[in-house]
Structure 1
Amino acid sequence: MTNFEYKRIKLTNLLVNTENYRFDPVGSQIEAIQVMVRDQNSKSANKLYNLAIDILENGLNPSDLTVVSPYTDDESLFVVHEGNRRITTLKLLFQPDLIPQEFRSLQNKFRELHVNNDLSQFEELLCVVYNTYEEADHWIEIKHTGEMDGVGTVRWDTEQQERFKANTGGSKSAILQTLELVEQSEHFEKETKENAQIIGVTNLERLISDPDVRSFLGIKVKNNEMSLEKPEQEVAKGLTKIINDLSSKKIIVNDIYYKKDRLKYLDTFEDNEIPQDVVEDGERAKVSDVGDTDKGKDKEKPPLKPKRIVSRPVSKKRKNLIPTEFVVRPKDDRVNNIYRELKQLEVEKFTNSASVMLRVFIELSIDYYLSINPISGVDASKSLNQKLSGVIDYLEKSSVLTRKELQGARYVLSSKSVSSTENLNAYVHSRLVHPSESEIKTTWDNIALFIKTILAN
């Protein structure tokens, strides 16, 4: 067991370690300080300046004292073994000119702090003094070299950090609210609840932070408050798949790292795993209220009224032609490939490509439908207008869709609409017609329910 003592030491007698493990050994105090400044500077912020602000506002951390040992050539001086960043920061507060000229802006900031703050409380510091560097090594190793199978500092994971923030007055993050929903809701199986406790939270956070994924699941985050846009049992369908896929390593970070990867992952959801676009009338329940047995425990939830599921209106602000929440699984390979490409195609960047491929996708989808549902007088040889009209009439007569539900598709038949088949044909065949982003998205929104219906076969 090593011997040590607590001692108050003047800041001027504390030496920044010239052999600090943060950088290669240097030859002098000034050089050590300047190397520390360069090491802690980045384009987004200077860590030493941020530390200076925190020290001035809150003082030094009393649970993390500076660790030193006597300087061999002068026993009145002490070499800093642990706490070189804070000692450098304090020295810069007293002497801003120690900052290299290349960081003139930083130098000016420290000058301002020097002038406007009383630094007398930092002239002398309480330190832990060991006889030699070697005697302090064990504690330095524990702090800086990882968990060491539990001997070292075990850092909080993302979920634990978020819980701390919430308990100390900060708001709960979306990821923590999501985990609480899983823990408290009756719509998750025991296995899923257990899996939620062991998954890599950063991967779940990567998904939940994507607005398209949230829209697909039926989750909304506003002012850091999470609410459900779909019934809780529907949201649970999607979250169950995500949590279990993360737990089983069916998906890893490389599968969801980029936006296109996350959209591709959503396409793997089976029909029974997709949260349906059903929203009950009235105020939507907040996730923080879900599963709280103290709130309304005497009130029974009214049963959901059966209603036909219709895709909710889609904002024109979306980037891609086909919105994330629109999901079908075309059995025809060519149709399926075009569908997947259109889900990733940004209309603003590729307006002409989107317009042409939309026209192709609509016609090939209808051709596929006719191949498995022959309609008298309508076949692949007819014009797009004739085929679309024939299938619309057939769906209405067969009571597959109502006349009202087919209004959008009929609008595409109208020669007066921007969504007309006449315009769709012109996008492909006329060099004088220039499609616009809004026209293409409007066309899709009008025909989306029709397409979903004929590709569901």
Structure 2
Amino acid sequence: MATARQETPEHEDVLVQFNKLHFDPVNPRGEPESDEEKIRSLFGGESETSVLAAHLAEHGQNPLDRLGIIKHPKLPGHFVIREGNRRLCAMQLLRDPERAPTTAIQKSFQRLASTGRPIPDSVQAVLFHEQPKARVWMSVKHEGPQNGLGTLTWGPTQKTRFNREGETGTTRPKNPNRQAEALLTYAVGQGLITPEERVLIAITTLTRYLPNLRTALALLNTEDCTTNAVQVEFNAALQRFLKDAKETGSPGTPAEVHSRSTAGQRNAYAEKLRNENLTPSSRNLPPYDPSKQTPTQAATKAAVRARSSMDPGKRKQLIPSSFVVSIKDQVLLRLVKEGKELNPDEARFSCNYLNRVILERVIHNYAKKHGVGGQGDFADVVQRVVTHAKASNSPPSKGVALVLTKAADKKTVYSYEIMSNAVHGGSTPSGADNRSNWENLQSALEYLLSRLK
């Protein structure tokens, strides 16, 4: 009876003492170098190594990507790194920042080492018993897709889908394409575009246009599909945007929404949607994400019933006559008086400016009266105001506190930052945009004014 031949394993998982690991003198990232201090200086001076070190300090060694080692040819019990030399450098400098090549880099690693996870005395590695076997797997990892053999790089859509599952730590910023991906997914689910059309729409092009189009589309943040518009109007505007971004299929004929657009062209496109009455005009629903929930029939009927003379969609003035300024601030009184006279559809720029400057004036009045400091970035002033108000005897409701917070987050359509875009030459909001921004801000302004009497 034949017996199975026992083969020596080509590699094995091992736990290696950190001080027995050495750089590979022959490394594709640089010319051959036998001096380990020079290798450490080479890797340690690269900005990518600092980024890697920050991630190691936060998360530890990647369990999906262990070090690959072989036995040292001259030092018994020691090992040479075949895969992971830059990681070895990052870990060495986290363990001993004084070995970094410059004073500035030393200080950087000292900060990381003092706040992050300690690098252990022993690390997990894969020990290859023959160097050529290590080269096989290094090729799979580093030499590209190789017709499916190697690691396939994710494109923008794949990266964004992955990031939908959650964040990947403080060392990785939020994926900038997340809102564009959410809009595409929603549009396919609603039948606004087909799955085949989605493939013809570049997600990065949508992301490029969104800062100029969020107000026009009635998007209330930079994350998802949240809106306060009636869903059918929101869908119509979104469908037009996506259709205009679809590749034409004709060489030399770009789509109307295209990747090489200038800021001026993107602003002009937003204006075109407004002029063609394609942007939502009914924006008085409670904020909701239509990809997750549909406004209830009751809420929709309530919105329809509210379309009276006091409905912001019907009102001919920016500010309703019922809004009262209860303090003796002559400038603020004049601003509000103008807001009660100006038509948001006709004086679009002026009404946008009034929303912005009234918000600023009331915030600074509150900061001055309560001694919380009106200097510095506007967002910082608002945060101090919110903190003070929450700790007071008459704290704001959660809704008011949320409005104030969003008014300073530089993302929301009624934030000081976004409303400043028109002042500094960006696209001018429509009359519906101006009314909607005032309706969002009014309750917060009324609360602040009540604390200024």
How far did 1:48 drift? 3.2
Structure 1 residue aligned with 2:179, among 174, 178, 182? Answer: 174
Structure 2 residue aligned with 1:185, among 186, 190, 210? Answer: 190
CA distance in 2, matches of 1:29, 1:49: 19
CA distance in 1, matches of 2:53, 2:262: 37
Match of 1:232 in 2: 231
Match of 1:48 in 2: 49
| Residues 1:314 and 2:348 aligned together | yes
Match of 1:26 in 2: 33
CA distance in 1, matches of 2:117, 2:96: 14
Match of 1:248 in 2: 247
| Residues 1:195 and 2:197 aligned together | yes
Indicate conservation of the 8 Å contact 2:205/2:259, yes or no: no
Indicate conservation of the 8 Å contact 2:228/2:286, yes or no: no
Indicate conservation of the 8 Å contact 2:179/2:224, yes or no: yes
Indicate conservation of the 8 Å contact 1:230/1:276, yes or no: no
State the superposition RMSD in angstroms.
Answer: 4.3
How far did 1:88 drift? 0.7
Larger RCO: 1 or 2 (CA < 8 Å, sep 6+): 2
Match of 1:205 in 2: 207
CA distance in 2, matches of 1:127, 1:199: 43
Match of 1:283 in 2: 286
Indicate conservation of the 8 Å contact 2:67/2:83, yes or no: yes
CA distance in 1, matches of 2:284, 2:109: 57
Inter-CA distance 261–115: structure 2 relative to 1 (3 Å threshold): closer
Residue 279 of structure 1 aligns to a residue whose secondary structure is coil
Aligned length: 306
How far did 1:36 drift? 0.7
Match of 2:99 in 1: 98
CA distance in 2, matches of 1:133, 1:73: 15
Residue 241 of structure 2 aligns to a residue whose secondary structure is helix
Q: List runs of 5+ in structure 1 lacking aligned partners.
A: 42-46, 320-436, 447-457
Indicate conservation of the 8 Å contact 1:237/1:275, yes or no: yes
1:285-434 to structure 2, matched below 5 A, reads 285-290=288-293, 296=296, 302=301, 311=345, 314-316=348-350
Residue 221 of structure 1 aligns to a residue whose secondary structure is coil
How far did 1:50 drift? 4.1
Match of 1:356 in 2: none
Deviations 1:317-346 (A, max 9, x none): 989xxxxxxxxxxxxxxxxxxxxxxxxxxx
Inter-CA distance 271–111: structure 2 relative to 1 (3 Å threshold): closer
CA distance in 1, matches of 2:98, 2:128: 31
Deviations 1:383-434 (A, max 9, x none): xxxxxxxxxxxxxxxxxxxxxxxxxxxxxxxxxxxxxxxxxxxxxxxxxxxx
Match of 1:84 in 2: 85
Q: Percent identity?
A: 18
How far did 1:226 drift? 4.3
Match of 1:431 in 2: none
1:2-151 to structure 2, matched below 5 A, reads 3-39=10-46, 41=47, 47-101=48-102, 104-111=103-110, 119=118, 122-151=120-149
Indicate conservation of the 8 Å contact 2:70/2:80, yes or no: yes
Match of 1:258 in 2: 262
Q: TM-score normalised to the size of structure 1?
A: 0.55
How far did 1:139 drift? 1.9
Letter in 1 for 2:28: Y
How far did 1:182 drift? 1.0
How far did 1:83 drift? 1.4
Residue 234 of structure 1 aligns to a residue whose secondary structure is helix
Rg (Cα) greater in structure: 1
Indicate conservation of the 8 Å contact 1:199/1:247, yes or no: yes
CA distance in 2, matches of 1:97, 1:262: 50
Residue 140 of structure 2 aligns to a residue whose secondary structure is helix
Indicate conservation of the 8 Å contact 2:58/2:116, yes or no: no
Residue 228 of structure 1 aligns to a residue whose secondary structure is coil
Residue 141 of structure 2 aligns to a residue whose secondary structure is helix
Residue 15 of structure 2 aligns to a residue whose secondary structure is strand
Q: TM-score normalised to the size of structure 2?
A: 0.55
Letter in 2 for 1:228: T
Inter-CA distance 22–235: structure 2 relative to 1 (3 Å threshold): farther
Residue 151 of structure 2 aligns to a residue whose secondary structure is coil
Match of 2:221 in 1: 221
CA distance in 2, matches of 1:299, 1:127: 61
How far did 1:160 drift? 3.7
CA distance in 1, matches of 2:122, 2:257: 48
Indicate conservation of the 8 Å contact 1:9/1:127, yes or no: yes
